[in-house]
Amino acid sequence: MNENRQDELQLVVFRLKEQTYGIDIGHVLEIIRATDITAIPGAPAFVEGVINLRGRVIPVIDLAHRLGLAPINISENTRIIIVEVGGATAGMMVDGVSEVLRLSRESIQPPPPMVAGVSAAYLQGIALVDERLIILMDATRVFRREEKEVLQELSRQVEERSAS
Amino acid sequence: MFTEEEIAVFLEELEEKLQVINDNVLLLEREGGSPEVIQEIFRAAHTIKGSSAVMGYEKMSTLTHEIENLFDRLRQREMEVSETLVDVLFEALDTLKLLKDEITGSAGDVDVSAVIEKLRACQPACGAGGSGGAPAGGGTVPAPAGMSDSREPVDLPTQARDTGSGRLLPAGQTAGLSTTGTSNGYQTYRLTMELEDAVEEVVREAEVRGFQAYQVDIGTDQGCQMKGVRAFLIFETLQQIGEIIKSVPPAEDLQEGKYEQGFTVVLLTKEDAGQVHDLVFSIAEVSSVEVRPIKLRVWEQTPAPDAAARQQVKKEAAPPGKDNIKTVRVDVQKLDTLMNLVGELVIDRTRLDRFVEVFESRYGSDDLVENIVEISNHLGQVTNDLQEEIMKARMLPVAHVFNRLPRMVRDLAHKMGKEIDFIIEGRETELDRNVIEVIGDPLIHLLRNAVDHGIEPPEERVRLGKPRTGRLLLKAAYVESHIVITLSDDGRGMDPDKMRQKAIEKGLMTPEQAARASDREILDLIFTPGFSTAGTVSDVSGRGVGMDIVRNQIEQINGSVEFTTAPGRGTTFTIKLPLTLAIIRALMVTLGDHVYAFPLTNVLETLTLKPGEIRRVRHAEVIVVRGHVLPLVRLAHLFQEESKEEGKLSVVILGSGDKKVGVVVDRLIGEQEIVIKSLGGYLGQVPGLSGATILGDGKVALIVDARGIVKDAGVEEIIYEVNRAG
C-alpha cells in the first residue's frame, strides 16, 4: 500500500442493478461467494442474514435493498464484499465484483441528490473513468443505522407483537 | 483492599446501573410511574447500594439507600410521581455520576447531603413504610459504619488474635492467589521482590525452626501524614510477633518517610497470615495489606547431595514459585480469537471426516485410506485437546469473587450484632471469566440475606440451645460438567406457615390459595418480587428485593438456583453454574429450512401432540401437560417462517423462573454441544434470538432466546388463574 499516493484512491468496483459502483479498498477485507446465508427472523428487511466467516458470525446486508432498490436475485455472480466499518465487520451483497481500480481524487465529483435511484446520503461522489460512470459508496454511511431507522424498526416490531 | 480489577468491575457495573436508572427516570417523567419502571429503578439503586457499600464508597451507598427508600414508597403507592420528584431524581443521578468520577479521580470531593435532603423532602411526612413500618427507612440513614472503618483500629491486636476473627480474613485468600499465579500486578500495591541468597538462607533456616516467612505488602493512605512514623509503627507492631528480615525500600529510608504508596517487608513469624493481616490492618492509615507466604525456589538447580534433605522438606513449595515466573497475562480477546480458530479447525475436521467416509466406502481397506483415517482421528484428538486447553485458559479461580466476601460478612455481622463464623471452601475451583464476573452480585445478595435474617442474634441462639456463633459455609465444587456453589447457614430457616400468612397479607394469594399451595410453592415465593419475610427494613436487606434478582442473574448465565430450608435449623442455597458461557448443550430443532438451537438449561421436556390437543383460552393457544395449563407459542409464527410439518406437533417445553411455555417446532434433531457466538454489534439485540452457532457443516444456526420467549408469552395471568381455579 506504500505506492498508494495521497491523491489517488483504490476502489473495488462492483455491479448493482446494472450500475457500476466503487468502494474504497481500505474498507474491504475480502470478497466471497454468496452461499449458506442464514436468515435472521425479526431483523430489518435489508439484512440478508448471517454467514460463517472462518468461525466468526458476520451479518450480511443486501446492498440494493439497503439503498432502497429492489432486492438482489442471488445468482452465480452474486458476491459478498466483507468490509470493516467503525470496528465492526459486516458483509454487503452485490450483483458482482469486476475489478480493482486506481482513481485520482481530482476526478471525483460531488454526487447529485439522487443517482440511479440512490440517495446521495449514501454516496461519496461520482467519477467518470473511460466514459464509465462509477458511483462511489460511502461504506460508513451504509452501515450506520440512523436513529430514524432504528425507531421505525422498533415501531414495526411493536406492531407485530401487538398484532400477534 | 480492592484490586484494580475489582474496582474496574465495580465501575463497569455502576455505569450500567446508572444508565438503567437514567433511562427509567426518563420513562418515569414521560409516562408516569408504572410498576415496572419503579421496580427497575429500585433494583438498580439497590444493586449500587450493595456493591458500593462492599467497596467502601459510603457516600454512594448512603445516597442510593435514600433513592431506594423513595422508590420503595412509590412502589407501595404511598406517594405519587411529581415533576419536582423527577427533578430531584435527576439531580441525585448527576450526583451519583460525580461520585463515580470521584472514585476514578476525575472529580474532587462530592457533597451528597444537599441532594439527600431534597430526596427526603420529596417524601410525605409520615415515617412508617408499608413493609413493616421501619423507622430506619425514613429517618436516620444507617451509614454503613462497618464499611468505612478500614483506617481505624477496629480491634486491638490482642483481641484480633483471641476472637479468632482471623478466619474471616484472608488467610486462605492469599494462599489461593499465590498458588494460582494469576495475581501478579492485580493488587493495589505490590512489589515483586527478589530474595538474595543470604535472605533466602535465613528463610530456609527459619522454616526448619517452624517459622513461616511472609511477604507483607502494605499500602498506606494517599494523604498519609508523617510517613516515617507510620512505617516505624508498622515495624514495631510486626516485631511483636516476629522478625523483619528485609524491607523494600530499606528500613532506614522507610523511617525517614522515603516511600511512595507503600512498602514491602519479609516477616518471619509463627502466626498465620490472617493474624498478620489483622494486626497490620489495625494500624491507622494503612489502606491495604497483603500477606503472602514465601515459598522458596527449589526447582532451579538439580539437587546437590547435601541439599537433598532440604528438598524433601519443601517439596510442595515448588509449584507456586514456578507459576510466578512462568505465568503471562493474556488479553481475553486473544483467547477468544484462539477459540474461534479452534472452532474452524473443528469444522474442517468434520469435513475431513466426511471425505474419509467416502474414501473408505469407495476404496475399502487401502493402505492410503487407513493412513488418512489415522491422521483424521489424530487430528480430531488434538483438536479436542486444544479446545479444552483454551477453555481452561479462560478460567479463573472462584477466589476472585470469594475473596471480597469475608470482609463484607464481617462488617455486616458487626453492624447487625451477629456473631458469625464464615467458612469458605473450594476457592481454587475454576470458572469461566465471564461467569465469575456475573456471580458476585447474586452471592452478595444471598450472603446479606443469610447474615441479616438467616442467622439469629447471639442471645437468641443461646436461648434456642444453638452455639452462640452462627455458621455460614460457602463452598464451590465441581459436579459433573457444572460448578455448584452452596451457601448454608444454621440460622432460622424459613417457616412455610409464616410465609403463607405473609403471602395473604401481601395480597399475593387468597387464604384459599395459600391453604391449597404446597410448602414448596409457598417457599418459592421468595423469588417473587415484593415478597419479604423480614419484619424490619434495614439497609442490608429485607425489602423483598434481591431474591428475584438473584435468580434472574443466575439464569442469565444459564445457571439455576434452588434452596432447602428447615425452620430453626437453617437454609442452604444451591447455585448450579455452567463451567463456561462459551459452550452450552443445546436441543437442536428444525423449522422450515433452518436449524435452531434451544439452550438445554431452559428445556424441561419435549412432547409430541396431535393438533386436537391444543385448546384455546381467550384467543391464546394453550396445552395441558399433566393437569397444568401452558401457553403455546408457534416458533414458525414468531419467526415468520413457513412450517413444513403437517399433522402431529413437536413441542419443546421451556421453563424460566416459575413460568413454562410450550414451543411448537417442526422436528426435533437432538442434543449437541454448541459454541455460542454473538450476532454482532451491527444487528444488536434481535427479538427471540440470543446468538448464533456454527454447525458441523459450516452453516450458521440461530440460538433461540428461550428466556425471552417464556417471558413474553403474554397469557400467563390467564393461565395462572386457570391453574389456580382448576
* Whole-number percent of chain A with pLDDT over 70: 84
Same domain flag for B387 and B408 = no
Three-class SS of B336-383: HHHHHHHHHHHHHHHHHHHHHHHHHHHHCCCHHHHHHHHHHHHHHHHH
DSSP bridge partners of B289:
B218
pLDDT of residue B487: 94
For an interface test with B, the pick among A52, A83, A150, A151 (most B C-beta atoms closer than 10 Å) comes out as A52
Q: Could you give the residue ranges of the DSSP H alpha helices within B488-546?
A: 496-505, 511-516, 519-523
pLDDT of residue B209: 65
What is residue B133's three-state secondary structure?
coil
The per-residue pLDDT for range B525-578, each reduced to its tens digit, is: 888 776 754 444 444 444 444 687 788 888 878 788 889 999 889 999 999 887
* Whole-number percent of chain B with pLDDT over 90: 9
Res. A92 pLDDT band, cuts 50 70 90: very high
Q: Could you give the residue ranges of the DSSP H alpha helices within B242-307?
A: 251-255, 273-281
The per-residue pLDDT for range B346-382, each reduced to its tens digit, is: 777 777 877 888 888 888 778 888 888 888 888 888 8
Between strands B603-609 and B615-617, the pairing is unpaired
Are B409 and B168 within 8 A, CB to CB?
yes
B600, pLDDT greater than 60: yes
**Cβ-Cβ contacts under 8 Å, A153 against chain B:** none
Q: Which of A42, A58, A145 is opposite residue B688, by nearest beta carbon?
A: A42
Residue B156 within a domain = no
Residue position matching grid coordinates 473408505:
B360
Are B1 and B56 within 8 A, CB to CB?
yes
Which of B109, B143, B177 terminates a domain? The answer is B143
Q: ∠ CA B596-B554-B531 to the nearest 5 degrees?
A: 120
Are B693 and B674 within 8 A, CB to CB?
yes
d(CA B299, CA B294): 15
Residues 6+ apart with CB under 8 A from A103: A8, A9, A10, A11, A22, A127, A129, A134
B158, pLDDT greater than 70: no
d(CA B58, CA B52): 7
pLDDT of residue B296: 62
Residues B507-523 have a mean pLDDT of 84
Same domain flag for B22 and B49 = yes
Q: How far is CA B147 from CA A57, B194, B417, B502, B543, in A?
A: 46, 35, 14, 32, 21
- Whose CA is closest to B247, among B221, B220, B215, B293? B215
Please give the distance of CA A4 from its chain centroid, rounded to a whole number: 23
Which CATH number fits the domain that encloses residue B11?
Answer: 1.20.120.160
- DSSP annotation of A38: B
Please give the residue that has the higher pLDDT: either B715 or B603. B603
d(CA B391, CA B672): 18
B689 part of contact set with chain A, CB < 8 Å: yes
d(CA B582, CA B434): 9
Res. B309 pLDDT band, cuts 50 70 90: very low
pLDDT of residue A161: 57
Res. A131 pLDDT band, cuts 50 70 90: confident
Residues 6+ apart with CB under 8 A from B644: B590, B592, B593, B666
- The answer to whether A38 contacts B699, with C-beta atoms less than 8 Å apart, is yes
Residue B507 within a domain = no
What is residue B316's three-state secondary structure?
helix
B703, pLDDT greater than 90: yes
Provide the shortest C-alpha distance from residue B320 to chain A (in Å): 36
Res. A149 pLDDT band, cuts 50 70 90: low
| DSSP states along B397-443 | ETHHHHTTHHHHHHHHHHHHT--EEEEEE-TT-EEEHHHHHHHHHHH
- The answer to whether A55 contacts B639, with C-beta atoms less than 8 Å apart, is no
Among B20-34, B526-540, B603-617, top mean pLDDT goes to B603-617
pLDDT of residue B151: 36
Exposure letters A65-83 (e unless 16+ CB within 10 A, then b): bbbebeebeeeeebbbbbb
d(CA A57, CA B17): 29
B32 part of contact set with chain A, CB < 8 Å: no
The sign of the torsion formed by the CA atoms of B193, B194, B196, B197 equals positive
- Total Cβ atoms within 10 A of residue B113: 10
pLDDT of residue B163: 35
Residue B306 within a domain = no
Residues 6+ apart with CB under 8 A from B291: B170, B174, B214, B215, B216, B217, B273, B274, B276, B277, B280
Report the mean per-residue pLDDT for chain B.
75
Res. B193 pLDDT band, cuts 50 70 90: low
d(CA B549, CA B532): 13
Active site amino acids of B? 46, 68, 449
- The answer to whether B340 contacts A58, with C-beta atoms less than 8 Å apart, is no
Give the ipTM: 0.81
DSSP bridge partners of B652:
B606, B663
Q: Which of A156-160, B173-177, B199-203, B339-343 is the least confident region?
A: B173-177
pLDDT of residue A148: 53
Residues B501-517 have a mean pLDDT of 84
C-alpha cell at A44: 430489518
Residue position matching grid coordinates 440512523:
A146
The counts of H helices and E strands in chain A are: 3, 13
Q: Structural domain boundaries of chain A?
A: 8-163
Q: Which of A52, A57, A89 is opposite residue B679, by nearest beta carbon?
A: A57
A2, pLDDT greater than 80: no
Q: Quick one: angle between helices B35-55 and B433-449, nearest 10?
A: 90
**Cβ-Cβ contacts under 8 Å, B390 against chain A:** none
Which CATH number fits the domain that encloses residue B247?
Answer: 3.30.70.1110
Residue position matching grid coordinates 436449524:
B595
What is residue B130's three-state secondary structure?
coil
pLDDT of residue B102: 84
- The answer to whether B686 contacts A40, with C-beta atoms less than 8 Å apart, is yes
A109, pLDDT greater than 90: no
- End-to-end CA gap in chain B: 56
- The answer to whether A41 contacts B640, with C-beta atoms less than 8 Å apart, is yes
Q: Which domain holds residue B363?
A: 332-395
B343 part of contact set with chain A, CB < 8 Å: yes
A57 part of contact set with chain B, CB < 8 Å: yes
B501, pLDDT greater than 70: yes
* Cis amide linkage into residue B249, ω under 30° from 0: yes
Residues B290-319 have a mean pLDDT of 49
Please give the residue that has the higher pLDDT: either B292 or B307. B292
Same domain flag for B594 and B538 = no
For an interface test with A, the pick among B336, B686, B690 (most A C-beta atoms closer than 10 Å) comes out as B686
Q: ∠ CA B427-B428-B430 to the nearest 5 degrees?
A: 110
Residue B16 within a domain = yes
Same domain flag for B354 and B414 = no
Q: Quick one: angle between helices B58-75 and B113-122, nearest 10?
A: 10
B717 residue type, one letter:
E
- The answer to whether A59 contacts B679, with C-beta atoms less than 8 Å apart, is yes
pLDDT of residue B410: 79
pLDDT of residue B597: 94
- The answer to whether A52 contacts B681, with C-beta atoms less than 8 Å apart, is no
d(CA B284, CA B400): 27
**Cβ-Cβ contacts under 8 Å, B341 against chain A:** 55
Which CATH number fits the domain that encloses residue B484?
Answer: 3.30.565.10
How many structural domains is chain B composed of?
A: 5
Q: Which of A76-80, B113-117, B688-692, B716-720 is the least confident region?
A: B716-720
Residues B678-692 have a mean pLDDT of 80
What is residue A127's three-state secondary structure?
strand
Res. B720 pLDDT band, cuts 50 70 90: low
**Cβ-Cβ contacts under 8 Å, B702 against chain A:** 38, 40-41, 50
Cα atoms in the 13 Å half-sphere on the side-chain side of A40:
32
pLDDT of residue A163: 55
Query: Which positions 614-643 of B are in contact with A (Cβ < 8 Å)?
Result: 637-641
pLDDT of residue B172: 34
- DSSP annotation of A74: P
Which CATH number fits the domain that encloses residue B660?
Answer: 2.40.50.180
* Whole-number percent of chain B with pLDDT over 70: 79
B297, pLDDT greater than 60: no
- The answer to whether B692 contacts A57, with C-beta atoms less than 8 Å apart, is yes
C-alpha cell at B274: 490472617
Provide the shortest C-alpha distance from residue B491 to chain A (in Å): 47
Please give the residue that has the higher pLDDT: either A40 or B9. A40
Please give the residue that has the higher pLDDT: either B234 or B722. B234
Res. B68 pLDDT band, cuts 50 70 90: confident
Q: How far is CA B582 from CA B82, B393, B453, B689, in A?
A: 46, 13, 36, 16
Residues B442-459 have a mean pLDDT of 88
Res. B241 pLDDT band, cuts 50 70 90: confident
d(CA B379, CA B384): 9
Q: Which fold has domain A8-163?
A: OB fold (Dihydrolipoamide Acetyltransferase, E2P) (2.40.50)
Same domain flag for B430 and B378 = no
Provide the shortest C-alpha distance from residue B266 to chain A (in Å): 48
pLDDT of residue B283: 76
C-alpha cell at B587: 436441543
Residues B7-32 have a mean pLDDT of 80
Residue B177 within a domain = no
**Cβ-Cβ contacts under 8 Å, B344 against chain A:** 54-55
The per-residue pLDDT for range B427-442, each reduced to its tens digit, is: 888 888 778 878 888 8
Provide the shortest C-alpha distance from residue A43 to chain B (in Å): 6
Q: Which of A75-79, B40-44, B326-330 is the least confident region?
A: B326-330
pLDDT of residue B475: 93
Residue position matching grid coordinates 486506481:
A102
The per-residue pLDDT for range B627-682, each reduced to its tens digit, is: 888 888 889 888 888 777 777 889 999 987 778 899 999 999 888 878 788 787 67
Q: If phi over 0 gives left and psi between -120 and 50 gives alpha, with beta otherwise, what is residue B173?
A: alpha
Provide the shortest C-alpha distance from residue B622 to chain A (in Å): 15
- Whose CA is closest to B633, among B558, B693, B711? B711
pLDDT of residue B717: 55
pLDDT of residue B33: 75
- DSSP annotation of B256: T
Provide the shortest C-alpha distance from residue A44 to chain B (in Å): 9
For an interface test with A, the pick among B677, B693, B694, B699 (most A C-beta atoms closer than 10 Å) comes out as B694
Residue B31 within a domain = yes
B136, pLDDT greater than 60: no
Kindly identify which residue of chain A lies nearest to residue B633, measuring between CA atoms. Answer: A164
